[in-house]
Structure 1
């Protein structure tokens, strides 16, 4: 018989599969822990471990006094080949021993169109920050990044706050806790502006990572399209059967 560690991972896998298949829909409450105890024939501790794993992975969110709910994200965006998430880190955190900087090309407050509103799970025409940055590592341009953030989640953001680590400002000054991200990865060709800013020929493909970043409350904090130089960036993942 499998030990508790294996068992709670199996339960988390089963619930995750039900979420990805659409059996558990966004905003749907999961069965109560006492009911899951009976369903899986395990202890309450094992169920709690499985739920905590799903919270860390970004699939569900706990609401005090109400229960555990599936996060509100677009299941179709995950695709059929969704992999087990790894710990989410921002751009600066991914380069801890290097000099990270940003050229801010655009920073403004705008009303969200329908597409951006859907990505951020807000109503169309709600106000958002829209920023465009070229992220650099050791002064070399690595990624062209376009970001949208609801103003309601981060009041008082200024130009000088986005030159450095946006997440550091958000967590230390904005009082939010960034927990997870859902990402789609694809290959695209650069626009003329992207090629110019990244200092590459327009024939070099870019690695596009489209991200929805979630807070620990389950709210969508950020929608970002990052286009990385394919000669400067490698994406690593681990998949388990």
Structure 2
């Protein structure tokens, strides 16, 4: 197999068959070169075609990912009426931690699961030119059996959640002004007790079942928000 079209078709078929799952990482171009025994240019041409068709996401310094599924519902209408004014700035994502833990009583109630069921607990920092955001994401393992946290570096949170077994159909958003605790203040590089905006996004599927929760913390003294009532 030497032609880039053959490699493109092979990768495309593996994606369609689920050998490379939605939102999962693909081998990088160097690894693909070894797998197929061809030049880097041939691999790049094959990957370029997959990227052009929206089947693969490429981000320099991070890697290649199978594009997640996006629901037909307008994503912009599900992000809430509260939006930061720096939204147009490109964000860089740094995963701080990602591990499994028991849901406990609190998340068991949110997700309607047993307290002993495992959930993903992911923390990350999102940097833009104007702001730093500390985020926490909690998702039940049984709804995301093959979740790769690295996908959060290249897609929106809704697209990442759509790599699971259910699709996002609605988002409930809660906005609060609170005092940051000592642990969270370190990630935002501010003093404990400083005012922060806390946004909680609870994502649900078409059966109105909660499938993920996202918390976002931002320095209230530097972040400006606009509220769209239309």
TM-score normalised by L of structure 1? 0.54
Matches within 5 A, 1:39-78: none
Q: Does residue 122 of the first structure (1) align with residue 118 of the second (2)?
A: no
- The match for 1:110 is 101
Within 5 A, what are the aligned runs for 1:67-216? Answer: 87-89=77-79, 97-138=88-129, 141-165=131-155, 166-171=157-162, 173-174=163-164, 176-202=166-192, 204-216=194-206
> 5+ unaligned residues in a row in structure 1: which ranges?
1-55, 57-85
The superposition leaves residues 18-60 of structure 1 with CA deviations (integer Å, 9 ceiling, x where unpaired) of xxxxxxxxxxxxxxxxxxxxxxxxxxxxxxxxxxxxxx8xxxx
Q: Are 1:141 and 1:199, in contact at CA under 8 Å, matched by a contact in 2? A: no
CA contact (8 A) 2:161 2:212 kept: no
Which 5+ residue runs of structure 2 have no aligned equivalent? Answer: 1-72
> Aligned in 2, Cα 1:233/1:108: closer, same or farther, shift over 3 Å?
farther
Runs of 4+ that moved beyond 4 A:
93-96
Partner of 1:70: none
Instruction: Give the SS at the match of 1:188.
Output: strand
CA contact (8 A) 2:179 2:192 kept: yes
Output the TM-score relative to the length of structure 2.
Answer: 0.56
1-structure distance, mates of 2:195, 2:145: 36
- Structure 2 matches for 1:214-233, cutoff 5 A? 214-230=204-220, 231-233=222-224
- The secondary structure found in structure 1 opposite 2:78 is coil
Q: CA deviation at 1:216?
A: 2.4
Note the C-alpha offset of 1:237: 4.2
Q: Is contact 1:141-1:198 (8 Å) kept?
A: no
Q: Distance in 1 between matches of 2:165 and 2:121?
A: 20
Higher relative contact order (CA 8 A, sep 6+): 2
Shift of 1:96: 6.4
